[in-house]
Structure 1
Amino acid sequence: MPNPISVIIESQNSAGGAFITNEQGLLPPLVTTKYVVEDQGNSSPRYVKSSLYCIPATADLLKTTALTITLTVSQMARTVEGEYEPPIVNVGALGAIRCNRCKAHIQLVDAGRRFQCIMLPTAYFQHLAHTGQRVDKYERPELVLGTRVFV
């Protein structure tokens, strides 16, 4: 088992200083390491950290390894001296464009000419019955969670 103090010192010596966000294959520094983020388009590790940085490329490999991906999101993390504040987007009086079905933020596709929901796949769409509820409501447990259905 490695000595934690030596791991912290080694990380500070090797990863301290500037951390450029778009370099391929570069792991983020430990949380104990003092570093300055140079934002090149990807999120700073102060705001988002992943449990996996090498994601299996195929479904078979993912199934074999049984790895899970988690993200630690710290949207209120503070920047250090020498870092730029994250840009704040002013979307105007209309507000952010959201999905009509689930109200999630949308993803621009086709060079910004179209957009699609990032949360719901198109296969999840279902028409409404005359009651105003989905036709497949009782076939999807997530839609009737917490309600009792007596047959």
Structure 2
Amino acid sequence: MPNPISVIIENQNSAGGAFITNEQGLLPPFVTTKYVVEDQGNSSPRYVRSSLYCIPATADLLNTTALSITLTVSPMARTVEGEYEPPIVNFGELGAIRCNRCKALVDAGRRFQCLMCKVTRDVPTAYFQHLGHTGQRVNKYEYLELVLVT
């Protein structure tokens, strides 16, 4: 069994410094590691941590491994010096665009399919915007929830 102190020191040496949130396959630093998050659109490990970072692709594989998947969510976690505060989105009187059934956040278009419960709903008229030639909303940069703020 490895010595926990040497594992912590090794992780500080290999994962300390900048942690870029959109690099695929990169495991987050340990909670004991000193790091600065460069927000590239995915959640900082200070706010959300998972018990599994390689999730089985099929139910059979999940049952075979008998591993539980949990998330530790810390929405009020503090940032460290050099990190941006998470952007706060104000939807105004319209409120957040959410599924009426399960309240999960959704994508924009004339209609949307909730990513959580798979129900299809109409997008409120006040939030609708046409898509440009790139397939993205024309007013994308007016909404913090649609772009990364750096």
Normalising by structure 1, report the TM-score. Answer: 0.72
Matching residue of 2:25: 25
Question: Aligned residues, how many?
Answer: 119
Matching residue of 1:116: 113
Local SS of the residue matching 1:9: helix
Q: Describe how 1:1-150 pairs up with structure 2 within 5 A.
A: 1-102=1-102, 104-108=103-107, 112-122=109-119
Normalising by structure 2, report the TM-score. Answer: 0.72
Gaps of 5+ in 2: 120-150
Separation in 1 of the partners of 2:105 and 2:8?
Answer: 40
Local SS of the residue matching 1:93: helix
Greater RCO between the two (CA within 8 Å, min separation 6)? 2
Deviation of 1:118 after TM superposition, in Å, equals 4.3
Separation in 1 of the partners of 2:105 and 2:40?
Answer: 23
Greater Rg, structure 1 or structure 2? 1
Summarize the Cα distance change of 1:42–1:6 in structure 2 as closer, same or farther, 3 Å threshold: same
Identity value in percent:
86
Deviation of 1:59 after TM superposition, in Å, equals 2.4
Deviation of 1:70 after TM superposition, in Å, equals 0.2
